[in-house]
């Protein structure tokens, strides 16, 4: 039996997840039982008969705040002995491949989707282990952010991506961007595929790809290389293979 990654999502908009769960890698992984995603409606833990999940903010101000009691009750019911509780919020730690990888290595993750002006602070202090933001912008709720986490982590669960070798050189897997990719045709509107890729010299192609990955990272995301010196071999590779001509100007 392949390992199972279990995710419980607590949300006030369960319908947001329709479609997303059923397609592509995630759909297949769920069908195979490798990844188990359960979507829960927060209202199920809210006080009957009205099952209200939000309320006005103490101290005044616009907008509503998600109440603490239903979230705490949901987490306490779902967490079990091994649940890692994550709150999706624009105030969280930025999501990186390293964080994704750490979550994929946990057997059981509980994702709480924030909404409105925020979540009662006591949710954080009482049940949350980790707060994650998917970027410095504000979404209307944590649902899309939860999908980002699930999508990025599920593909790292062993058995989900059929050919695990394809995870090795991809962008962010090794703290740098990936190299440019080409497929047919060999020439498009005057732009040719770099000849080395047609040469059949596998070692040379590998060296070209590493050089392009480094050029691209240096040009686009120099921050990823900060705190790490390029080795003499990497500098030599970059000198031997200049940036690929199809690199967009100014990038």
Task: Give residues in contact with ligand ADE (CB under 6 A).
Answer: 88-90, 114, 133-135, 137-139, 141-142, 145
Min separation Cβ 135 and ligand ADE, Å: 5
Phi/psi at 112 (nearest 5 deg)? -105, 125
Q: Closer CB to ligand ADE, residue 135 or residue 158?
A: 135
Q: How far is the CB of 230 from ligand ADE (least distance, A)?
A: 32
In three-state secondary structure terms, 147 is helix
Q: How far is the CB of 139 from ligand ADE (least distance, A)?
A: 4
Structure token pair of residue 218: 């240096």
With CB atoms as reference, the residue minimizing the distance to ligand ADE is 145
Q: What residue has token string 């091994």?
A: 82
- Angle (CA) 79 29 111, round 5°: 30
In the complex with ligand ADE, which residue's Cβ is closer, 88 or 213? 88
Q: Are 41 and 78 in contact (CB under 8 A)?
A: no
CB of 147 to ligand ADE, least distance (A): 11
Q: Which is nearer to ligand ADE, 85 or 145 (CB)?
A: 145
- Give the C-alpha separation, 206 to 244, whole Å: 14
Token digits for 37?
A: 């995603």
Closer to ligand ADE by CB, 149 or 157: give it. Answer: 149
Least distance in angstroms from the C-beta of 149 to ligand ADE: 9
Residue environment code for 55-93, b if the CB has 16+ CB neighbours within 10 A, otherwise e: eeeeeeeeeebbbbebbbbbbeebbeeebbbbbbbbebe
Question: By C-beta, is 63 or 135 nearer to ligand ADE?
Answer: 135
Spatial separation of the C-alpha atoms in residues 4 and 157, rounded to whole Å:
8
Q: Which is nearer to ligand ADE, 143 or 212 (CB)?
A: 143
CB of 28 to ligand ADE, least distance (A): 26
């Amino acid at each position: 039996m392949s390992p199972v990654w279990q995710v419980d999502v607590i949300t006030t908009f369960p319908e947001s997840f329709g479609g997303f769960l059923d397609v592509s890698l995630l759909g297949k992984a769920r069908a195979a039982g490798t990844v188990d995603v359960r979507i829960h409606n927060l209202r199920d833990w809210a006080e009957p008969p009205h099952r209200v999940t939000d309320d006005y903010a103490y101290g005044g101000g616009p907008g509503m705040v998600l109440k603490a009691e239903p979230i705490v009750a949901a987490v306490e019911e779902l967490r079990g002995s091994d649940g890692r509780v994550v709150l999706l919020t624009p105030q969280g730690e930025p999501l990186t491949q390293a964080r994704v990888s750490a979550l994929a290595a946990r057997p059981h993750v509980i994702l709480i989707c924030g909404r409105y002006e925020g979540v009662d602070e006591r949710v954080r202090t009482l049940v949350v282990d980790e707060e994650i933001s998917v970027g410095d912008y504000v979404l209307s709720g944590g649902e899309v952010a939860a999908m980002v986490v699930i999508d990025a982590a599920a593909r790292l669960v062993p058995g989900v991506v059929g050919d695990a070798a394809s995870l090795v050189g991809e962008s962010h897997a090794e703290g740098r961007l990936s190299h440019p990719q080409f497929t047919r045709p060999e020439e498009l509107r005057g732009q040719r595929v770099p000849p080395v890729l047609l040469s059949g010299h596998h070692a040379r192609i590998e060296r070209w790809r590493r050089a392009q990955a480094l050029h691209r990272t240096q040009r686009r995301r120099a921050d990823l290389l900060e705190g790490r010196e390029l080795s003499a071999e990497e500098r030599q590779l970059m000198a031997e293979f200049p940036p690929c001509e199809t690199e967009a100007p100014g990038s």
